[in-house]
């Protein structure tokens, strides 16, 4: 029995390090998983035009991502350039035309809703809708960003 004492001491020393590490979250210290876009999420209160446009974009991106079966983050990253958009559609096996249509429709629907509930001023709504309808997807976010910075908030 005595010959097992050193082995038991070694196991005890290992447990004295490993158990607290696991208790403190070891093994799950990894990038935070992204949220399901089909689940409703709290959006920031809109206090100015910039925040309103952000709410519209975030709502639309959530809806479109849910419809396409991808994460909100993947979709946003795909909207930064045409190359990124092409990689996104091929990696996720999504028809490019279908993805473009879904993005346009999703944004227009979010603009309509914001205009209807009075959060987006009637003067600005046609400009945003025009951008959403006509620009290629990879230019839309940048256009909205510029629009927000030009218009008085």
Partner 1 sequence: MRRALLAVGVGLALADSSIVTLALPEILGRFDVAITSVSWVLTSFNLVLAVVAVPAAYVSRRRPRESYATGALVFGTASLVCGLAPSFDVLVGARCIQAIGAALLVTSALDLLTQREGDERALRVWVVAGVFGAALGPAAGGVLTELLGWESIFLAQVPLALLLLVALRGVEARSIATPAGRPAVAANAALLFVAGGLVAALFLVVLLLVDGWGMSPAAAGLVVTVMPLTAIAVGRLRPRSVGEVQGVAVGVILLSGGLTALALMPRAGWGWTLPPQLLVGAGLGLTVGGLTELALRGRPDQVVHGGWTLCARHAGVVVGLVLLAPVLTSALDENRDEAIRAGAAVVLDSEIPPLDKLGVAQDVLGEVDRSNDAGELPDVERALADRPDDAEWQSLIGALQDQLNRAVTSAFSGPFLLAAVLTLGAFVPLAFVRRRRA
- Asked if 112 and 140 touch (Cβ cutoff 8 Å), the reply is no
Q: In the stretch 79-118, what mask flags binding to partner 1 with x, by CB under 8 A?
A: -x--------------------------------------
Q: What is the C-alpha radius of gyration for the chain, rounded to an integer number of angstroms?
A: 24
Nearest distance, CB of residue 104 and partner 1, angstroms: 18
Tokens of 118: 């009075």
Distance CA(102)–CA(68), nearest Å, equals 8
Q: Cα 1 to the chain's mean position, in Å?
A: 60
Q: Which is nearer to partner 1, 73 or 86 (CB)?
A: 73
Widest CA span in the chain: 87
3 binds partner 1 (CB under 8 A): yes
- Asked if 133 and 104 touch (Cβ cutoff 8 Å), the reply is yes
Q: Which is nearer to partner 1, 58 or 66 (CB)?
A: 58
Q: In the stretch 44-83, what mask flags binding to partner 1 with x, by CB under 8 A?
A: x-----xx-xx---x------------xxxx-xx--x---
Q: Compute how many residues bind partner 1; rule: CB under 8 A.
A: 41
Percent helix, strand, coil in the chain, to 5, is 70, 0, 30
Nearest distance, CB of residue 84 and partner 1, angstroms: 9
Q: In the stretch 4-43, what mask flags binding to partner 1 with x, by CB under 8 A?
A: --xx-xxx-xx--xx--xx-xxxx-xxxxxxx--------
Q: What is the dihedral of CA 106, 108, 109, 115, to 10 degrees?
A: 140
Q: By the criterion CB under 8 A, which residues form the site for partner 1? A: 3, 6-7, 9-11, 13-14, 17-18, 21-22, 24-27, 29-35, 44, 50-51, 53-54, 58, 71-74, 76-77, 80, 141-142, 145, 148-149
């Amino acid at each position: 029995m005595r010959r097992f004492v050193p082995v038991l001491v070694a196991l005890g020393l290992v447990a004295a390090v490993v158990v607290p590490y696991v208790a403190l979250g070891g093994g799950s210290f990894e990038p935070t998983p992204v949220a399901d876009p089909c689940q409703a999420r709290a959006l920031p209160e809109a206090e100015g035009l910039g925040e309103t446009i952000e709410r519209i974009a975030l709502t639309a991106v959530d809806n479109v991502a849910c419809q396409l079966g991808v994460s909100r983050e993947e979709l946003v990253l795909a909207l930064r350039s045409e190359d990124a958009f092409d990689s996104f559609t091929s990696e996720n096996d999504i028809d490019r035309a279908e993805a473009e249509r879904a993005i346009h429709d999703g944004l227009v629907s979010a603009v309509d809703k914001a205009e209807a509930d009075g959060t987006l001023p009637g003067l600005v709504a046609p400009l945003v809708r025009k951008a959403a309808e006509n620009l290629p997807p990879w230019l839309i976010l940048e256009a909205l960003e510029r629009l927000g910075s030009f218009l008085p908030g």
